[in-house]
Amino acid sequence: MEDYNVKLINTREEYELYNNVVVKPRPDDKYKLVNSFTYKDITVPVNYITNGADIPRFLWLFWPPNRSNYLPAVIVHDYLCDKGEYKKADIYLKDMMNTLNVTRFTVWIFFKGVRLYHRIRYGQ
């Protein structure tokens, strides 16, 4: 039987992002990063805790919070937000999602959503 859900990895950078991000589930619906990983000038440290993407539950059918094709981007975004670097976090989220070959529509939805939230919440 053929699996039509297999995603092909097209670039070395995409391969490294997928293979360098290892998370361990926790009992509180969060995930702990098992190893550190780097994207551009940011290194997310080992044991960093993330809850995945903050997506309203009614949208989980379309965008589950921990979908593997955008989880590396979400982890970097969460890490930068924890450091108060909201605009950089949003830009890196968009860049990484594009690198990871996430659909343009999903990238657009995520980017517009986080930018709107950060402008309203933090004025950034």
Give residue limits of the domains in the chain.
Answer: 12-122
The radius of gyration of the chain's CA atoms, rounded to the nearest angstrom, is 14
pLDDT of 25-80, one tens digit each?
Answer: 899 889 999 999 888 899 999 999 998 888 888 888 888 877 878 899 999 999 99
Residue with tokens 């009992």: 27
Q: What's the rounded mean pLDDT across residues 75-92?
A: 94
Helix (H) or strand (E) holding 115: helix 104-122
Is 5's pLDDT higher than 60? no
Is 2's pLDDT higher than 50? no
The DSSP 8-state label assigned to residue 53 in this structure reads -
Is 23's pLDDT higher than 80? yes
Is 6's pLDDT higher than 90? no
Which pLDDT does position 1 carry in this prediction? 43
User: pTM (2 decimals)?
Assistant: 0.82
Q: What is the mean pLDDT of the chain?
A: 84
What span, in angstroms and rounded, lies between the C-alpha atoms of 23 and 71?
Answer: 10
3-state secondary structure of 119: helix
∠ CA(76), CA(77), CA(81), 5° rounding?
Answer: 115
Q: What's the rounded mean pLDDT across residues 118-123?
A: 85
Cα dihedral sign, 123-56-54-18: negative
Q: What's the rounded mean pLDDT across residues 73-90?
A: 94
Taking a C-beta distance cutoff of 8 angstroms, is the pair 72, 17 a contact? yes
3-state secondary structure of 33: strand
56 token code pair: 């309203």
